[in-house]
Amino acid sequence: MSLKVLRTNIYLIGNYSHEITGSKLPSNLQVLKTLFFNLRVVKLNVRQSALLVLREVMIFWDKARIPTMLERNCVEKIERLYEEWRLLQKHTGRITVSHKEKVDAFTLKFNNLFDIAHTDALSLIKIDEDRLFLLSQREEGRPGFLHGISNEINYNNDNEEIETESINVLQDLEISMASTTLSENSDTDVTDNSYELPPPKKLKGKRQIITPKLVCVMTVVK
């Protein structure tokens, strides 16, 4: 089996994904698939990859009108999920009952909600429909759908809000990447205590016709 195939067929995860789609709040598996795209294709480090995934995740949570945790806590939660996977991956060769139980527990939550709701979200939400939606998404398998969001949601559609957020993500990453040396091994964590990114600048001129991920790839491999 070639190295390329090994890197695209990720242990327990399967193939990575360049974006999060659907009409539900993102799941743990969706977060991991997109994180690995940022790590292995865009070749960002773990912190940068987590920040970019978070910006995509926030598009869905903002549309659901559900208050979320601080960005720092959200990023740390993504990193913990990645570290949990990495620990299991290190012991791939183990055939013990304990390891199998850990793998089963990890994969069992794949389709469940990657929950970044504020601790007091249920009391802060003013609309009953939004509160019920969060409760349903927290159930196994995330039953229910987010109203007003297309199953084809992505960075290429005509939704001005999503396009603006995408541009902001690019600018944030350019600032972060300009001050950080990228690791040669994209799966290796780095020591970086910076969670806050400078506020993005507004772009003027023509609308963007390529995806932020593609621009990131072009920037990194340039």
Give the DSSP per-residue string, 142-170: --S--TT--TT-STTSS-HHHHHHHHHHH
- What domain range includes position 178? 22-221
**Residue partners of 218: CB distance under 8 A and separation at least 6:** none
Number of domains in the chain: 1
CA distances from 193 to 73, 158, 163, 169, 174 (A): 13, 36, 29, 19, 17
Output DSSP code: residue 43. Answer: -
Single out the residue of 169, 150, 172 nearest to residue 213, CA to CA: 169
| Residue 15 counted as domain residue | no
Size (the chain), residues: 222
Which residue do the tokens 């084809």 mark?
152
CA distance 72 to 1: 39
pLDDT in the model for residue 80: 98
Instruction: Specify if 102 maps to a domain.
Output: yes
Q: Which pLDDT belongs to residue 216?
A: 53
pLDDT at 215: 52
Q: pLDDT by residue for the chain (222 residues), tens digit each? A: 444 444 578 999 999 999 999 999 999 999 999 999 999 999 999 999 999 999 999 999 999 999 999 999 999 999 999 999 999 999 988 889 999 999 999 999 999 999 999 999 999 999 999 999 999 999 999 999 987 654 444 444 434 444 445 455 555 555 454 444 344 344 444 334 445 444 444 444 444 434 556 555 545 444
pLDDT at position 93: 86
* Confidence (pLDDT) at 214: 55
pTM of the model: 0.71
Q: Does any domain span residue 17? A: no
pLDDT of residue 146: 87
CB 154 within 8 A of CB 32: no
pLDDT recorded at residue 66: 97
* CA–CA gap between residue 151 and residue 53 (Å, rounded): 18
Q: What angle do CA 147, 64, 42 make, to 5 degrees?
A: 105
Tell me, yes or no, whether 11 lies in a domain: no
